[in-house]
Structure 1
Amino acid sequence: MFAEELHTDAFILLAAILFIMGVVSTKFSARLGVPSLVLFMLVGMIMGSDILGIVYFDNAALAQMVGIFALVIILFEGGLQTKWSSLRPVIMPSLSLATIGVLITSGTVAVAAKYILELGWLEAILFGAIVGSTDAAAVFAVLKGQNIKDRISTTLEAESGSNDPMAVFLTVAMIELITLPDANIFSLIGSFFIEMGLGLVVGFIAGKLAIKALNSINLDSSGLYPIFALAFALLTYGLTAFLHGSGLLAVYVLAIIIGNAEIVYRHSIFRFSEGFAWIMQILMFVILGLLVFPSELFTWDISWKSLLISAILIFIARPIAVYLSTIKMNYTHKEKIFLSWAGLKGSVPIVLATFPMLAHIEGSQLIFNVVFFVVLVSCLIQGATVTNLAEKLKLNGPQKVTPIHALELLSLGKTNKEIVGFEINSDSVLVGKKILDIPFPEGAIINVIIRKDQVVTPMGNTIIHSGDFLYLLTSKQNKPRLKQLLEEKRHEVYQEVNKSS
């Protein structure tokens, strides 16, 4: 059926089957205790030529392109969800893990690969560089919705979102040293700092421009705003890469800036990005699963070598990197154990493993197969036990509650009105107050209150309770004032009263 050419109708049918299997597998992943991304890869492997034989796929260049495109979307969605208040205290340890930590991990694994895989030193260091980084897609997927302490989860998310430049630099640098004997290591090091700097600068500028554009333009449909925001992510990556900077870092910085700003149709942008990120995650891991041939992967020679390298990576290289790169950064022993265990490998190492294949480096197929096996082991063992380990180490934070209700809104077109949602915490100044006593900005009204999954019709004498979820209609001009009122805490009011007295 797909031997020579994948016709349009057959391609659409296949895509539908793959997406349905991918979505359904997320339902079983929680019950089986297996991260969904592992099931996505298994779907690809099963559909491939070695098992069902439905699709024959060995195009490493296409897999690399899809993988990088998917990573842009995943990093964008992850950055949108990152709160600056949680990120700011962990910037230094995250950057230390993303740079020094990756170097230590890569170097330790390189020594193991040299003797276990019998590679040359340059090829062994290349292997270490490929598996040295923590994967953003895997970390975001495993930690999403889990009630792990913000400081720890944010450290991992920031590390995985910012360590791709180091992994890409090391991989490309080693490939150049292998293929171009006259390559200058010092110029390569200089280019790394230029790439990082360009990524930060372009990402910051693009983020500010995106906020201004989103809040200034009046589009006929609210559904266009998420696409507009996503277009900025793709533009940021493309422009930064064109300037020889780190496009992935730029996208992550852009997303953090947008996610922590006041933007119109915020809820729509977040939900669309989340859905699209899931689509790209399914597509990416299915394609990566198609790219591997189980008959070559699960041989005794590959299996025992990969398991040994995985053990060294998980139990030696990553812990050493965490403990050395977080010295004097106020992390407890339990927190360092968790950071060591949660250094998941995922799509980035597999995508990077296609680089040596495209450069026709000797032993590149062996490197790819072992990297894929290592990723499977990491996802199956570490990914499936992250939550349980957090509980045993007592690193759980407050339960993250996502409202199960939804409010579908019609597009407001070019009006200057917007509906915002806000959850009332126990320390809010509004708790216990009647609606008529709350000094809302002019024109701001409460449309509906969700209280313990029940809809409450707001009246003047309705009292606000802790845990209430409010949907409010306000003008775009008064939105900052409304937000300030909603976020006001009791202790802040008490301090103001003491100052005035």
Structure 2
Amino acid sequence: MDHLILSSEHFIFVVALLLIIGVLATKISTKLGVPALILFIIVGMLSGSEGLGFIYFDNAKVAQLIGVIALVIILFEGGLQTKFSTVKSVAKPALSLATIGVLLTTSIVAVAAKLIMDISWFEAFLFGSIVGSTDAAAVFSVLKGQNIKERLGATLEVESGSNDPMAVFLTVSFIEILTIDDPSYIMMIGSFFWQMGMGLLIGWILGKLAVNAINRVNLDSSGLYPVFAVSFALLAYSITDFIGASGLLAVYLSAMIIGNTDLTYRYSILKFNEGFAWIMQILMFVILGLLVFPSQLFTLDVIWKGLILAGTLILVARPIAVLLSITKMGFKWREKLFLSWAGLRGAVPIVLATFPMIAEVENSQMIFNVVFFVVMTSTLLQGSTISTFAEKLKLTGPTKVEPSHTLELVSIGKANAEIIEYVVNEESFVKGSRIKEIDFPDDVLINAIIREEDLITPSGDSQIEVGDILYILTSKRSKKALNKLLKV
């Protein structure tokens, strides 16, 4: 019994320590200009048996399970923040990159893998499939708070949120080809359309069901609404995956439907899932860091193969995929160059690299190690230079102002009113105006202004400045008109 208690205490202590270090790593990453996920992975590697020796971990199945759950939460949070209006404006290029782009990237990298890694063609295409998609966790993390032009940022986010199903389909298909004596190629093609179609259908159904349930069920505590919402994300994934369809696609679509609807306790749901996504991101990358052994990763064989394949992916495969996928879609050459450079790889390829390990595919350990090195190289090189690259290409928009204050709302779900937090930027129509000059609906009122570190009590003569954070009280019937006026 004492041994179990000590083991539990040791485990809880280590988890607490890793979370604290992970949270602090986000602050360090901002100062160093390095993506936080790289630091999370390093924390995991240092905590492993070949580092400080806190944890010995080599279970690919557990890593895959944690990785998939984390991706569900991260995709759900990203989908909640994605506006339908934004998706419509970039749907064609984003979906082209998510399908044709992944196929092209997979094929080009596969040729390089065949020449460099001394593996079969099917193993080479398996490798290409694993690194073929951009990663939602990496893209959402790196782009958050950046002032990249809206169309470009939206294209990358929608692409990364919707291209995982293609990568998963290709990876699973090539594993089947390598492990099954007589695979059916016709069935595989049919499986692709089944996965996409049913993923979209179930995502739409669960999204609508979640909205109705959240708005109609009167829960005793406001803290239960965010838990209720995220439960539908897990439900969407599990049901869809159970019938052999794309669970990740279902989660992303259901999240967009939920996020684009007026919700009870909307602010609480969004903030809870933002924090939950960070926890899962830290946990996922730390676990993936634990799964890799530095003595196997940082060998001359893995390093030179990884560098060449990373260079092929970043400098050849991704640019060609971008150029061919979005031809005649209104992007300038500078924008295409940026989209090529911003094709970040992250958790998804590493999680997918555990699939062949579990299926006991030949050379699976080597594939995992090289994939891990390629992802580290991509994230470190591209992730740390995205903002600078956009500035050099003159593709940045108005500086994004992140609110440094929050206003807790009580019982808003049971009232016929809502408070909206709005950040004034260079493009806001209210900038420079006095409150009495703004043509708000009659039942809309600005009841607080945060300017730098000061709280300002508004009056009719108060002038709105760029960077101000406005707390606007509106009736629910006027919220749609207010959002249209503010363009949110």
Alignment TM class, shorter chain as reference: over 0.9
Task: Identify if the C-alpha distance between structure 1 residues 391 and 487 changes in structure 2 by more than 3 Å, giving closer, same or farther.
Answer: same
Deviations 1:328-375 (A, max 9, x none): 111111111111111111100000000000001110000000000000
Cα distance, 1:213 vs. partner? Answer: 1.7
| 1:420 corresponds to 2:417 | no
Deviations 1:379-424 (A, max 9, x none): 1111111111000001101111122122133445745554333346
1:175-324 map, 5 Å: 175-324=175-324
| 1:159 corresponds to 2:156 | no
Task: Identify if the C-alpha distance between structure 1 residues 419 and 365 changes in structure 2 by more than 3 Å, giving closer, same or farther.
Answer: same
1:78-93 map, 5 Å: 78-93=78-93
Counterpart position of 1:31: 31
What is the identity, as a one-letter code, of the residue corresponding to 1:324?
L
What is the identity, as a one-letter code, of the residue corresponding to 1:81?
Q
Counterpart position of 1:449: 449
Counterpart position of 2:434: 432
Counterpart position of 1:465: 464
Counterpart position of 1:488: 485
Deviates more, 1:307-316 or 1:80-89: 80-89
Counterpart position of 1:494: none
Counterpart position of 1:498: none
What is the identity, as a one-letter code, of the residue corresponding to 1:465?
I
CA contact (8 A) 1:198 1:245 kept: yes
Structure ID, larger Rg: 1
Counterpart position of 1:73: 73
Task: Identify if the C-alpha distance between structure 1 residues 325 and 305 changes in structure 2 by more than 3 Å, giving closer, same or farther.
Answer: same
Aligned equivalent of 2:476, options 464, 474, 479: 479
CA contact (8 A) 2:46 2:52 kept: yes
Deviations 1:155-176 (A, max 9, x none): 1111110001100000000011
Q: Distance in 2 between matches of 1:125 and 1:470?
A: 52
Counterpart position of 1:327: 327
Counterpart position of 2:10: 10
CA contact (8 A) 1:220 1:413 kept: no
CA contact (8 A) 2:265 2:412 kept: no
Q: Distance in 1 between matches of 2:383 and 2:478?
A: 42
Counterpart position of 2:121: 121
Counterpart position of 1:50: 50
Task: Identify if the C-alpha distance between structure 1 residues 426 and 315 changes in structure 2 by more than 3 Å, giving closer, same or farther.
Answer: closer
Counterpart position of 1:362: 362
Task: Identify if the C-alpha distance between structure 1 residues 413 and 145 changes in structure 2 by more than 3 Å, giving closer, same or farther.
Answer: closer
Q: Distance in 2 between matches of 1:292 and 1:453?
A: 45
Task: Identify if the C-alpha distance between structure 1 residues 171 and 164 changes in structure 2 by more than 3 Å, giving closer, same or farther.
Answer: same
Cα distance, 1:241 vs. partner? Answer: 1.1
Q: Percent identity?
A: 59
**TM-score normalised by length of structure 1:** 0.91
What is the identity, as a one-letter code, of the residue corresponding to 2:297?
L
Counterpart position of 1:495: none
Cα distance, 1:486 vs. partner? Answer: 5.7
CA contact (8 A) 2:431 2:464 kept: no
Cα distance, 1:27 vs. partner? Answer: 1.0
Q: Distance in 2 between matches of 1:305 and 1:214?
A: 50
CA contact (8 A) 1:240 1:246 kept: yes
| 1:105 corresponds to 2:105 | yes
Q: Distance in 2 between matches of 1:435 and 1:483?
A: 20
CA contact (8 A) 1:79 1:256 kept: yes
Cα distance, 1:5 vs. partner? Answer: 11
Q: Distance in 2 between matches of 1:378 and 1:30?
A: 18
Counterpart position of 1:493: none
Cα distance, 1:243 vs. partner? Answer: 2.2
Deviates more, 1:35-44 or 1:255-264: 255-264
1:374-413 map, 5 Å: 374-411=374-411
List, as ranges, runs of 4+ consecutive aligned residues in structure 1 with deviation greater than 6 Å: 3-6
Q: Distance in 2 between matches of 1:60 and 1:5?
A: 27
Q: Distance in 2 between matches of 1:124 and 1:363?
A: 11
What is the identity, as a one-letter code, of the residue corresponding to 1:295?
S
What is the identity, as a one-letter code, of the residue corresponding to 2:89?
P
Deviates more, 1:76-85 or 1:277-286: 76-85
Partner SS for 2:485: coil
CA contact (8 A) 1:435 1:464 kept: no
CA contact (8 A) 2:431 2:465 kept: no
Deviations 1:160-211 (A, max 9, x none): 1000110000000001111112111121011111101111111112212222
Task: Identify if the C-alpha distance between structure 1 residues 420 and 296 changes in structure 2 by more than 3 Å, giving closer, same or farther.
Answer: same
Query: How many residues are aligned here?
Result: 482
Cα distance, 1:487 vs. partner? Answer: 3.5
Q: Which blocks of at least 5 consecutive residues in structure 1 are unaligned?
A: 491-501
Cα distance, 1:87 vs. partner? Answer: 1.7
**TM-score normalised by length of structure 2:** 0.94
Deviations 1:461-493 (A, max 9, x none): 45463555433445xxx4132441464379xxx
Counterpart position of 1:174: 174
Cα distance, 1:225 vs. partner? Answer: 1.2
Partner SS for 2:385: helix
Q: Distance in 2 between matches of 1:313 and 1:178?
A: 24
Q: Distance in 1 between matches of 2:149 and 2:324?
A: 22
